[in-house]
Amino acid sequence: MLALRPEATAGVVRAYLEHQMYTKKKITRLYYSGPMFRYDRPQKGRYRQFYQIGAEIFGGDSPYFDAELIIIIDRILRQFKVKQYIFEMNSVGCDGCKVRYSSKLQEYLNQRQDGLCQDCQVRIKNNVLRVLDCKVVSCKQILENVPAIQEILCSVCKKHQEMLYQPLERNKVQFMENKYLVRGLDYYTMTVFELKINGGESAVAGGGRYNNLVAELGGPSIPAVGFAIGMDRLCNLVTPEIKRNIDIFVFFLGQNAMQNGITIINEVRSSGIRLITDYTERNLKNHLKVANREGAEHVLILGEDELSKQVFLYKNMKKGYQKQVEFEHLSNFLKGLKNAEDTYMR
Ligand code: HAM
């Protein structure tokens, strides 16, 4: 049977087990990137094929592993110069906490069942935690006063959450607690988090701890934590930094200048400067007309006179000045033009 993977965590756990990585290292850090597929209703930022990059850490139950991953996401966002984002955090507790919280939630919701949407009425019985995630207005109203899981977390889960917040604060990661956050995947235990932009609904990244999944998939009991960033959503937030590769037009006057000039031009090209050459024979006036028509700002001219002096004539068509540039300084001169333009663009 073939299936399109909706996410990579389960597959990474399978690979971790198949290669018995737990026998080689106490802590294993893995990362991945690639396309994922979900039968979602397509809309802005929600696709049926999308790309994720993700990371998973196996073998550690310290909350500092959770913090390490959140700090990595934070660094990535800073590097991409994304602003106004916040990590929404919650704990869904360990098995014991989940059972206790689920029954408390069921008790609370059973008394208010009539106001819940059809789906949530079913969720109360099958997977009550997912009611917290419902976006239907009537359900949201009922959930306003719902007991928070923080009220019943066991001491281990509570301590885990408190210890996780300390390194986040110290690393100036913006986060807030969201008591409704349960995540759309059921394998999570304790920490869950999502990265939201500007109070928006959809998350750019999500993750959490899943201390039971390795055992559930047939392996030993090994704690794990991970995240995935949605690349499509991240790309939608990023404004590409445009570094223009400036166009420099080169014209030759006469065969002799052309033969000699081509060698110099190709040397300059190999240092990464983009030169546009035109080998058509014209007089200077017509060359400049062509340059004007093509909107060229920078023009280099090599005629017999220049060749004998071992210089190019540089003309700035926009600013209306010209100067002679010696062959040996041409590369540096053009790099200077490019850098000046990059600085101007910034
Ligand atoms: P997830 O929250 O389902 O988590 O997905 C992670 C990210 O993938 C989302 O925050 C979002 O940016 C992007 N994404 C999800 N669905 C779509 C979609 N239909 N169109 C565009 N982007 C989408 C996971 O997948 C977990 N495996 C993360 C994880 C790793 N938990 C532990 N380890």
Euclidean distance between CA atoms 293 and 291, whole angstroms: 5
Residue 113 DSSP symbol: G
Enumerate the β-bridge partners of residue 29: 57
Task: State the pLDDT confidence band at 33, using cuts at 50, 70 and 90.
Answer: very high
pLDDT in tens, 221-254: 999 999 999 999 999 988 776 656 667 899 999 9
| Residues, the chain | 346
For residue 345, the model assigns a pLDDT of 43
Q: Which CATH number fits domain 9-94+154-237: 3.30.930.10, 3.40.605.10, 3.40.640.10, 3.20.20.370?
A: 3.30.930.10
CA angle, 342 then 288 then 327, to 5° = 60
Find the 255 Cα to ligand 1 centroid distance in Å: 62
- Which amino acid type is present at position 7? E
Query: Tokens in use for 342?
Result: 């990059």
Q: What is the pTM of this model?
A: 0.76
Q: Is 28 in the pocket of ligand 1 (CB under 6 A)?
A: no
Q: Is the pLDDT of residue 124 over 90?
A: yes
Closest CA to 227 of 119, 335, 68: 68
Helix (H, G, I), strand (E, B) or coil at 207: strand
What CATH topology corresponds to 248-345?
Rossmann fold (3.40.50)
Q: What atom of ligand 1 comes closest to residue 38's alpha carbon?
A: 19
| Residue to mutate (ligand 1; options 233, 236, 238; most atoms within 8 A of CB) | 233
Q: Whose alpha carbon is nearest atom 13 of ligand 1?
A: 230
Q: Per DSSP, what are the bridge partners of residue 295?
A: none
Residue nearest to atom 25 of ligand 1 (CA): 7
Token pair, residue 34, equals 């690639």
User: Edge to edge, what strands does the sheet with 191-197 contain?
Assistant: 28-37, 49-58, 224-230, 203-209, 191-197, 85-91, 175-177
Cα gap 57→59, rounded to integer Å:
7
Q: How confident is the model at residue 41 (pLDDT cuts 50, 70, 90)?
A: confident
* Domain regions of the chain by residue span: 9-94+154-237, 248-345
Local structure of 85: helix, strand or coil: strand
The reply to whether ligand 1 has any atom less than 6 angstroms from the CB of 107 is no
Q: How far is the CA of 10 from the centre of ligand 1 (A)?
A: 13
**Helix/strand/coil percentages in the chain, nearest 5:** 45, 25, 35
pLDDT digits (tens, 9 = 90+) for 176-220: 999 889 888 889 999 999 999 987 888 999 999 999 999 999 999
Q: Rounded to whole angstroms, how far apart are CA atoms 141 and 7?
A: 31
DSSP alpha helices (H): ranges in the chain?
A: 9-18, 63-79, 95-110, 118-126, 137-143, 155-170, 213-216, 231-237, 255-269, 284-293, 304-309, 330-345
Could you tell me the distance, in angstroms and rounded to a whole number, from the CA of residue 207 to the centre of ligand 1? 8
Residue with tokens 């993750």: 207
- How does residue 13 score in pLDDT terms, banded at 50, 70 and 90? very high
- Tens digit of each residue's pLDDT (9 = 90 or more) over 162-172: 999 999 999 99
Query: For position 103, what pLDDT does the model report?
Result: 93
What lies within 8 Å, CB to CB, of 78 at 6+ separation is: none
For residue 334, how far is its CA from the centre of ligand 1 (angstroms)?
46
Residue labelled with tokens 């010209």: 322
Instruction: Please tell me whether residue 197 adopts helix, strand or coil conformation.
Output: strand
Q: Using DSSP bridges, classify how beta strands 28-37 and 49-58 pair: parallel, antiparallel or unpaired.
A: antiparallel
Least confidently predicted of 52-66, 119-133, 138-152, 269-283: 269-283
